[in-house]
Amino acid sequence: MAKEKKVEQITDMEVDFAQWFTDVCTKAELVDYSGVKGLFILRPYGYAIWENIQNILDKKFKELGHENVSMPMLIPESLLQKEKDHVEGFAPECAWVTMGGSEPLQEKLCIRPTSETLFCDHWSHVVHSWRDLPMKYNQWCSVLRWEKTTRPFLRGREFLWQEGHTLHATAQEAVEETLQMLEVYADLCENYLAMPVIRGNKTDKEKFAGAENTYTIECMMHDHKALQSGTSHYFGDGFARAFGITFSDKENKLSYPHQTSWGLSTRIIGGIIMTHGDNSGLVLPPAIAPIQVIVLPIAMHKPGVADKAQELVSRLKVAGLRVKGDFSDNSPGWKYAQYEMKGVPLRVEIGPRDMENGQCVAVLRTSGEKITVPLDELETRIPELLETVQSQMFDKAKSNLDSHTFVAHSLEEAKTLQEENGGFIKTMWCGDLACEMAMKEQAGMSSRCIPYAQEHLDDCCAVCGKPADKMIIWGVAY
């Protein structure tokens, strides 16, 4: 007799959240470790999640008039150094190529940590007139940042992402683009990934190296820490000046164009895991789940069961769902645990008695609820149940966010709230870097964003007591 497959065990999230996360990443077969620290192998199931995210975003980018391009992966040192703030920001994380075969290179080459400099160099060749604008480019690629501590999805040295880069004739048009793309990310998170977001802009301290303004969406994880989930940057004309990109405007006057960039990476998969997962493993939003429905025949040796299960798989496929049947000889117990671990939103079981009654049983990954579905309603009821799972997931994440967002009126109060409950702390802020640093040093929290949705909590900065008119959100971030 074949050896029965064992159900994989994972650490409880309440015992050790970090270990739980790592367990889910490996046991749900999302990643494997490679021979180089911080470079992870995205296994087919993990890559399929990324592909589904890619498909959603790529379609939106194109609808909004962006074109995909491919830039080189190496940046000459001289090019990287053209924009002062940018090089200072990225220098500590750069990995360099110094040899070509056995010959030392005359100029060392940086493996791209991000590609602003490459886009700017290219644009300085091809942009001449207002007729050439706007340039609305995107590339899907991987980048390399030499991080010291690394974790799957959350902090890899190499990670997959998309980076959008656009160039516009006016500042207003570039700002509009920046905000529009942040909204694309917010829509992805809320309506596909079931992750509620807080939209806002970063402080000067936290903004992207070389940007005038960085806009962000911040999500709260199950452990109440923050994850910066997508950013969109407005550069003004700083890069254009540094790289000598000019165009003759409609009055035939030479001008500098205004620039944006925006990116979302495989880090978001870490966010999905930490927002929705539980002690049985991954829980995937149906909108991006590689397998939306797993069909399991019960008592498969009984006549007709396997055929009937196969028929359900075919019907659901025709209905446009991502569906799979498991006809292996593994025990039902193993199969339940396996597809729960993989976060499949819906399990559909069919056995001899169900067949007699013309029904199957659907089990929701979120609540474990079992729902009897008449077989002649399969094509309407199953998509409805997937919708239910999707909205249950959003509601749960939203209630986690709402119940762990607090108001504080002093640094001391903010610190106590963070220590006792974790989560996001809203306070007023005067805008001084010194107060931001004090919050970091004394309460262990960084500024997450200055939310679009402002509230007037009181008249003074929670840290220094000086007049303040901005509300800011603090948190402990991944």
Residues that bind Zn ion (CB under 5 A): 430, 432, 435, 461, 463-464
Q: Which is nearer to Zn ion, 209 or 414 (CB)?
A: 414
Shortest approach of Zn ion to residue 462 CB, angstroms? 8
The two structure tokens encoding residue 11: 């650490």
Q: Provide the angle, in degrees to the nearest 10, between the axes of the packed helices 378-403 and 305-318.
A: 70
* Residues composing the chain: 478
Shortest approach of Zn ion to residue 324 CB, angstroms? 55
DSSP 390: H
Pick from 460, 453, 400: nearest CA to 429:
460
Cis peptide before 134 (omega within 30 of 0): yes
Rounded-to-integer distance, Cα 118 and Cα 136, Å? 14
Q: Which is nearer to Zn ion, 318 or 434 (CB)?
A: 434
Q: Is residue 294 within 8 Å of residue 346, measured between CB atoms?
A: yes
CB atoms within 10 A of CB 367: 12
Shortest approach of Zn ion to residue 460 CB, angstroms? 8
Rounded-to-integer distance, Cα 441 and Cα 227, Å? 20
Half-sphere exposure of 41 (CA within 13 A, CB side): 9
Q: Is residue 358 within 8 Å of residue 299, measured between CB atoms?
A: no
Q: Which is nearer to Zn ion, 332 or 431 (CB)?
A: 431
Q: Which is nearer to Zn ion, 194 or 430 (CB)?
A: 430
Rounded-to-integer distance, Cα 381 and Cα 373, Å? 7
Q: Which is nearer to Zn ion, 188 or 435 (CB)?
A: 435
For residue 68, give the amino acid letter: N
Shortest approach of Zn ion to residue 466 CB, angstroms? 5
Pairing assessment for the beta strands 405-407 and 424-429 based on DSSP bridges: parallel
Shortest approach of Zn ion to residue 437 CB, angstroms? 10
Q: How many helices (H) and strands (E) does the chain have?
A: 14, 23
Shortest approach of Zn ion to residue 432 CB, angstroms? 5
Shortest approach of Zn ion to residue 69 CB, angstroms? 44
Q: Which is nearer to Zn ion, 159 or 429 (CB)?
A: 429
Q: Which is nearer to Zn ion, 203 or 255 (CB)?
A: 203
Q: Which is nearer to Zn ion, 264 or 430 (CB)?
A: 430
Shortest approach of Zn ion to residue 418 CB, angstroms? 18
